[in-house]
Amino acid sequence: MNTALTNDQANIKGAGVVYTNDSSSGNVMLDITNNNAFDYGCTDVSVSRSGTGAQTYNGSVSPDLAMDKTFTITPSNTTTSGNANVVFYFELAEITGWEGATGQSRNNLVAYREGTGDIVSLTVGTFGSHITLTGDFTGLSGKFLFGTNDTFQRLTIGPKVFLQGAALNPNTGEETLMRDDLRVAGIIPTTSPYADALTCNASVFTPTGNNAIVDWIWIELRDKSDNTSVLLFQSALLQRDGDIVAVDGVSPITFKIVSGNYYVAIKHRNHMGVISANTIALTGNTSVLSFTDANNQIAFGSNAQTTSGMPSGVVGMWSGDAGGDGRLNYSGGLSDVPTVRSQVFNDPNNSFLGGPPVASYPSQGYYKTDVNMDGVTVYSGAESDVLLIRNNIFNNSSNSFLGGPPTSTYIFIQQLPEGAN
């Protein structure tokens, strides 16, 4: 079995089998069965890393570690359609060393090819007292690593956004931070309001200052070839300084998917969603992705975010989507205003001395209708949530018909490629 870092070369002209050996010791490395007529030409094969243990890959942690041993195949000609079967040879100690270091079974091993991101299932076999791992690949070129799915399906991201509703009327001396009124009021639920219903420990709402939690938020990874195709999603928590963190309140966001280029979308229950205009290269090393820089805006679409009420140099996600449908409307059939009115007038506590409900009543609670995120929904009066909806329609630069004045019936749709929710 070859464990050295020397190579062999084989001429793969078409269909057939080639056997490769260490050019110095003659020890076997791998076998290649070309299942079609593609001419790979002169093909270099080597053990590109050796060892009998395990190590981290792209930020992975125990037990999701990769084997020490890796192989590299470099053909003169490459293809994205040819099929080849590859048998990789390992000494028993290389396999058992990895099993001992990780507590994992060889039957869980997969091959990961850097560059393409392919993860291929393997068949475990024997060669005398040694072990073989066999897989089917499209094309041959690449560096081949071995571990479990979780070893290679891991990337981390540190998104940053501001919510306009929480940035308005900042606390004195904290003008660069969002307010955390919902946390202070103790009304942020420990279960996410979004589809995955993730939960957190109530203790994550204890910290104050920059890292205090503002609210739950929603993150999506979308396909690099189709920005409407959602691959993975999860709930997360938003800190006052705009950092989006995992449900422990501090860690970056982790997705179990291979490193690569993805569109990143951020949504909130009463703000307009955003998505990156371009794909973002994401790896196991935390990629910081800021949607907040007014001088370097990365969001897709036109007028996707706002500077209204925001700290200097910061853009934030538009607030006012009291209905949570991805549309912002002040007056008309899709108006968000009736939803606010309904919350206030239907609040069972809205009665003065047993009389009828009043429009200025502050309906306390964790509601989408609380678009300024102060912990209460108000329909009428100086603190009304309706005022923010109105202002975001009349101050929206997209609201103009043929260059005329803004209209109250204008419907602003969140700038996601699919439009409204």
For residue 90, give the CATH number of its domain: 2.60.220
The answer as to whether 339 is a domain residue is: no
List pLDDT tens digits, range 205-229.
999 999 999 999 999 999 999 999 9
Residues 6+ apart with CB under 8 A from 354: none
Residue 164 phi/psi, 5-degree rounding, is -55, -45
Using alpha carbons, list the distances in angstroms from residue 272 to 56, 69, 196, 394. 39, 48, 20, 16
pLDDT surpasses 90 at 118? no
Looking at residues 332-357, what average pLDDT do you find?
Answer: 93
End-to-end CA distance of the chain: 57
Looking at residues 173-199, what average pLDDT do you find?
Answer: 97
What's the confidence (pLDDT) of residue 355?
A: 85
What's the confidence (pLDDT) of residue 82?
A: 83
Range with the poorest average pLDDT among 133-137, 151-155, 274-278: 151-155
Contact 34, 72 (CB under 8 A): no
| Alpha carbons 410 and 333: distance in angstroms, whole number | 11
The answer as to whether 330 is a domain residue is: no
Instruction: Specify whether 283 is located in the same domain as 174.
Output: yes
What's the confidence (pLDDT) of residue 268?
A: 98
Q: Which residue is it, tokens 């068949």?
A: 123
> Into how many domains does the chain fold?
2
Global confidence as pTM: 0.80
Side-chain-side CA neighbours of 350 within 13 Å: the count stands at 21
Instruction: Specify whether 77 is located in the same domain as 178.
Output: no
Instruction: Specify whether 96 is located in the same domain as 186.
Output: no
Decide which of 289, 317, 345 is a domain's last residue.
Answer: 317
Instruction: Specify whether 128 is located in the same domain as 168.
Output: no
The answer as to whether 286 is a domain residue is: yes
Please report which confidence band the pLDDT of residue 3 belongs to, taking 50, 70 and 90 as the band edges: low
**Chain mean pLDDT for the chain:** 94
Instruction: Specify whether 239 is located in the same domain as 131.
Output: no
Instruction: Specify whether 135 is located in the same domain as 206.
Output: no
Segments forming the whole domain that contains residue 118: 7-152
